[in-house]
């Protein structure tokens, strides 16, 4: 009889465990549906682009990213997969609501990338982290784009003047049309190439009606006749820059300071220039 009693008691306790487990799971599910897509993780706050909901075992707590960061979903199509605070351009904040800025002397917000200068000086930007700013510069000829957080062609940056920034204006397209022997326009020359008055190593291409700066590299000069990068001695007017090439045993190995005079005869001894000068 005692055996039968304890056996019934065991089954009752087992049923109670199952019952309470079901209750706990139901409670977690209701909590997840209320604020947590999943019991654990970080999920977007639908009302604030730099806010998120931290879920721990189904318990939801509203939190904020660090000032200047925006919460980004891992999967843009499915926000229920969660996300993290990221350094992305402010225009991704579609909800239009952010925490008040905590600015410093250098930075409008604690984190972010901020363009410096006016429309004629577009290459520098401030890189802010924890309220401390460091000035960075885009590669030569590129402008910082606040909408993409990257360096772009200046004609692709809304608040930058390519002509003012590069100090060059493309001639009118109609004046540059080239026709073949049949009187048809030579469409192979739709890109307009122009030398840079400041240096032989760089040139402009007018592709969109605005200039874009390109470089030939250290050992070449832009040749207007061929519209290509060429050796210095093939380009008239580049003799002074040609003299500044270091005389080296290998192509790109420098030996101390550049000599005051580098003659064409001396450069011919360099294996790199053999047969090319």
Q: What is the pLDDT of residues 51-88, one digit of tens each?
A: 999 999 999 999 999 999 999 999 988 888 999 999 99
- What's the pLDDT score for residue 171? 86
**Which fold would CATH assign to domain 35-97?**
Antimicrobial Protein, Tachycitin; Chain A (2.170.140)
Q: Of 33-47, 155-169, 236-250, where does the model show the most confidence? A: 155-169
HEC-encoded secondary structure of 87-150: CCCHHHCCCCCCCCCCCCCCCCCCCEEEECCCCCCCCEEEEEECCEEEEEECCCCCEEECCCCE
Q: Between these two residues, 232 and 158, which has the higher pLDDT value? A: 158
Cα end-to-end span (Å), the chain? 112
Return mean pLDDT, the chain: 78
174 — pLDDT class (breaks 50, 70, 90): low
Rg for the chain (alpha carbons), in Å?
33
For the chain, percent of residues with pLDDT exceeding 70: 68
Half-sphere exposure of 48 (CA within 13 A, CB side): 15
Q: What is the Cβ-side half-sphere exposure of residue 178, based on CA atoms within 13 angstroms? A: 7
Query: Distance between CA atoms of 37 and 39, rounded to whole angstroms?
Result: 7
* 51-60, 116-125, 148-157, 258-267, range with the lowest pLDDT: 258-267
Strand partners, 202: 215
pLDDT for the residue numbered 245: 55
Distance of CA 54 to the CA centre of its chain: 29
Q: Tell me, what's the pLDDT at 252?
A: 41
Locate 254 and state its tokens.
């420098």
Average pLDDT rounded to a whole number, residues 246-268: 46
* Boundaries of every domain in the chain: 35-97, 112-166, 173-273
**Residue range 213-233, pLDDT digits in tens:** 999 887 788 998 888 898 877
Q: Which residues pair with 126 in a beta bridge?
A: 114, 135
pTM greater than 0.75 (yes/no): no
Distance CA 210, CA 166 (A): 10
């Amino acid at each position: 009889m005692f055996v039968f009693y304890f056996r019934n008691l065991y089954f009752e306790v087992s049923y109670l465990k199952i019952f309470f487990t079901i209750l706990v799971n139901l409670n977690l599910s209701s909590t997840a549906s209320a604020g947590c897509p999943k019991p654990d993780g970080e999920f977007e706050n639908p009302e604030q682009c730099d806010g998120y909901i931290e879920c721990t075992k189904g318990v939801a707590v509203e939190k904020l990213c660090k000032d200047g960061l925006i919460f980004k979903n891992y999967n843009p199509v499915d926000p229920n997969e969660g996300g993290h605070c990221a350094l992305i351009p402010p225009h991704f904040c579609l909800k239009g609501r952010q925490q008040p800025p905590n600015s410093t002397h250098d930075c409008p917000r604690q984190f972010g990338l901020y363009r410096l200068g006016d429309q004629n000086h577009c290459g520098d930007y401030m890189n802010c982290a924890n309220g401390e700013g460091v000035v960075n510069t885009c590669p030569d000829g590129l402008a910082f784009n606040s909408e993409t957080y990257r360096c772009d062609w200046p004609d692709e940056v809304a608040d930058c003047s390519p002509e003012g920034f590069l100090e060059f204006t493309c001639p009118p397209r109609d004046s540059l049309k080239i026709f073949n022997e049949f009187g048809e326009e030579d469409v192979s020359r739709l890109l307009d190439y122009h030398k840079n008055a400041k240096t032989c190593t760089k040139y402009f291409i007018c592709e969109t009606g605005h200039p874009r700066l390109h470089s030939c590299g250290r050992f070449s000069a832009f040749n207007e006749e061929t519209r290509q990068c060429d050796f210095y001695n093939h380009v008239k007017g580049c003799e002074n820059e040609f003299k500044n090439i270091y005389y080296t045993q290998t192509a790109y190995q420098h030996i101390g300071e550049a000599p005051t005079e580098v003659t064409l005869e001396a450069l011919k001894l360099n294996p790199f220039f053999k047969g090319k000068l």
